[in-house]
Structure 1
């Protein structure tokens, strides 16, 4: 979880929503990433999606089969994956992860039970094993820091302005 938090801090410094994540395989971090939505101007570039692409690249570089690696992988994320990312992890990957461990709940967009239970909704696909609340306070602290600042990438009408008193 430490590397996920390091990446979340990096995201915050880059004016991104501070979410970081890492795939761990046989006790080793093999792919990691952070939000890159603002940098890429692509709303789908959440930490999980970035990291999935890096995991696929790691498998190609190391001549490993993605489906075999996934069954031995754990995913660590600072914030509960959103509905889109949870759906991608559960329904688009060729095999299931051992677990997803995350910090803070995502009360606006969470796909692991906070808003929708994509992780275990009725489906022919097996449910995901999610572990929540790991270092949640630290994750919330980072999110608060982000939302206290002005997001220069937000549409003009939605930007928060610092109040001058």
Structure 2
């Protein structure tokens, strides 16, 4: 999660909402990203989406079955959908997102039995550090 916080600080320095994400496979970073919505003028340029694209490019595959994502804020519906579609094994997040969190707080897309893939979810990792950055 500390590495995801480094990505989040990049977003903060660029006057973006400070959220960062990394994707790990076999203890190696294969993808990373930070929010770039304002920079790219793209509402889909969330940290998770950028990290997923980066990881898919690294592996030259859209399937991220044996990979885990670490993100500083609980993913929204769009990002949770991308997590399911890319078949990430686990989601580890820092701060809970009571406004639009869709892997725990409002809903858990990652464990909905109607989807063909599920991801493990664990929240509250380095919650204080992640929350502090979001409120700075």
TM-score, normalising length from structure 2? 0.94
Q: What SS class does the counterpart of residue 93 from structure 2 fall into?
A: strand
Change (3 A) 1:107 1:2: same
Correspondence for 1:116: 107
Correspondence 1:88 to 2:82:
yes
**106, 121, 127: which one pairs with 1:130?**
121
Give the whole-Å Cα distance in 2 for the aligned partners of 1:106 and 1:124: 22
Correspondence for 2:58: 58
Gaps of 5+ in 1: 146-165
Gaps of 5+ in 2: none
- For residues 14-38 of structure 1, give each alpha carbon's deviation from its aligned partner in whole angstroms, at most 9, with x where no partner exists: 0000100001010011110000001
Correspondence for 1:36: 36
- Note the C-alpha offset of 1:125: 1.4
Larger Rg: 1
Correspondence for 1:75: 69
Give the whole-Å Cα distance in 1 for the aligned partners of 2:33 and 2:40: 14
- For residues 34-82 of structure 1, give each alpha carbon's deviation from its aligned partner in whole angstroms, at most 9, with x where no partner exists: 000010011110001111111121123xxxx443xx2221111011011
Moved over 6 A (4+): none
Correspondence 1:144 to 2:112:
no
Q: What SS class does the counterpart of residue 72 from structure 2 fall into?
A: strand
